[in-house]
Each structure stands twice: as C-alpha cells, then as structure tokens.
C-alpha cells in the first residue's frame, strides 16, 4: 500500500503519536525539505509547536543518491563507515563534500527561518520527523545533533523506512515509530504515489501557517 503524498503520510503518522497530544513539553521537528509537510500534519494533529532541524546528506561523488554520511546543525558529522570503506573514500573527498553541504545548510537556515528563532528544545519531548529513511545517515546526524540540546526524549517518527535502519533507530533514539518497513525497501520515493520535490517556498509557507499558534518569533 502506497501513501498518496507526504501530507497523508503525516496524518497517518499522527494517529500513532496521540499520546503526545495537548502537552506543553512536546515539539515537532521536520527535516527539510521532505520531512516538513509530514511534520506539519503531525504538529497540527497534536496541537504542538512546529520547527525544523537542519541536516544535509553527504552524497558519494558521482552517486549523489548514495549517502556516505550527513552533517547537522551544531557542527555534527556522522559517517556511513560501510559505504566509506567499501568505496575507499578518502578524508579529503569527505571534507570537500561536507564543506559544500555546510554552505547549503547555512543557506537553508537563512531562507527558512527568516525572523524566526529556533524553538527551545531543552527539557522537551522532541518528535523528529522525515518522510522516510533509507540508510539513516541524516536521521543519525539529527539525533546526535539534538542530544546537544538536552531534550527529555527524542522520538523518531517516519511513515516508511528500511527495516534494518528502523531497528537501528530504535536503539539510537528514545523511541522510534516507523509505520511501514517493507522488504525489499529500495528507496523512500517508491512508497508514495506523489513524491514530488518539496520546495523552499512550501517549507516557508508551512512554517508560516504553523507560526501563529506554535512557532516562537
């Protein structure tokens, strides 16, 4: 069974997170860009604040869809050691890709936040959302980055993911919810009827819609 789109997937994910509804110590974070439409639906259903957490995948040169790692806000870097070793990727190549993605991360920070201050995460139950996980590199980087903010709990929530990755996230996060973990998995986009790219404008619009009730300015 396929999700119609990210918004539908978010509504289905929200039904698995009802115990976090109407609480004053819960914040929903979407990983831009594709995780934000999913997170928006969850935040609306739970009546929780919505914000973003910025992470960038480090793609293998010439094979951008294959992640050799990821970087996150706060200087966090996580490497997929299996990919790095299997493809004999050297440190200079990793550093060059990280520098490039850091520039994009900083650009997105400016574009998405504008006048918005990051939502305080200390002593919060943080629900961390993406539209799916394959290798899990970006989610691992996000979890590591979030730990620096000392939340009470990190709850990873995705509509679909690779079964082995979902099992790993159960160990890394305090709680992990993955609605579907099909075998074989192949790619996140295969499990959506509409997996069109989420734009910067859509991310800004969703944050603006959530802003009056939930986002600190």
Q: Does any domain span residue 170?
A: yes
Give 156-203 pLDDT, tens digit per residue. Answer: 999 999 999 999 999 999 999 999 999 999 899 999 999 999 999 999
CATH of the domain at 10: 3.40.50.2020
- Percentage of residues in the chain with pLDDT exceeding 70? 97
Q: Are 94 and 70 in contact (CB under 8 A)?
A: no
Q: Does any domain span residue 78?
A: no
Q: Does any domain span residue 164?
A: yes
Q: Does any domain span residue 60?
A: no
Q: Does any domain span residue 206?
A: yes
Report the alpha-carbon distance of residue 138 to residue 144 in Å, rounded. Answer: 10
Q: Does any domain span residue 101?
A: no
Instruction: Name the pLDDT band for 120 (thresholds 50, 70, 90).
Output: very high
Domain residue limits at 148: 6-54+114-214
Go through 95-117 and write b for each residue having 16 or more CB atoms within 10 A of its CB, e for each that does not. eebbeebeeebeebeeebbeebe
Which pairing describes strands 153-160 and 175-180: parallel, antiparallel, or unpaired? parallel
Q: Is the pLDDT higher at 183 or at 214?
A: 183
Instruction: Name the pLDDT band for 212 (thresholds 50, 70, 90).
Output: low
The total number of structural domains that make up the chain:
1
Contacting residues for 162 by C-beta, under 8 A, at least 6 apart: 133, 134, 135, 136, 181, 185
Contacting residues for 7 by C-beta, under 8 A, at least 6 apart: 37, 38, 40, 41
Which pairing describes strands 175-180 and 76-79: parallel, antiparallel, or unpaired? unpaired
Give 54-111 pLDDT, tens digit per residue. Answer: 988 898 988 877 889 888 877 788 888 888 999 999 999 999 999 999 998 888 888 9
Element (H, E) at 47: none
Q: Does any domain span residue 84?
A: no
Q: Does any domain span residue 71?
A: no
């Amino acid at each position: 069974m396929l999700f119609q789109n990210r918004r539908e997937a978010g509504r289905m994910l929200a039904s698995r997170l009802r115990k976090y509804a109407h609480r004053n110590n819960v914040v929903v974070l979407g990983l831009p860009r594709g995780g934000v439409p999913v997170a928006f639906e969850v935040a609306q259903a739970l009546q929780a604040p919505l914000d973003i957490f910025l992470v960038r995948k480090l793609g293998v040169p010439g094979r951008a869809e294959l992640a050799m790692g990821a970087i996150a806000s706060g200087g966090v870097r996580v490497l997929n050691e299996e990919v790095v070793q299997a493809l004999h990727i050297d440190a200079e190549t990793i550093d060059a890709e990280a520098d490039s993605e850091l520039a994009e991360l900083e650009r997105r920070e400016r574009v998405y936040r504008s006048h918005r201050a990051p939502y305080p995460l200390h002593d919060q139950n943080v629900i961390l959302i993406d539209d799916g996980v394959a290798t899990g590199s970006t989610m691992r980087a996000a979890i590591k980055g979030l730990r620096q903010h000392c939340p009470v709990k990190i709850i990873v929530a995705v509509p679909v993911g690779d079964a082995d990755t979902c099992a790993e996230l159960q160990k890394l996060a305090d709680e992990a919810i993955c609605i579907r973990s099909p075998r074989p998995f192949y790619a996140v986009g295969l499990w959506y009827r509409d997996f069109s790219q989420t734009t910067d404008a859509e991310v800004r619009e969703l944050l603006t819609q959530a802003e009056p009730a939930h986002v600190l300015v």
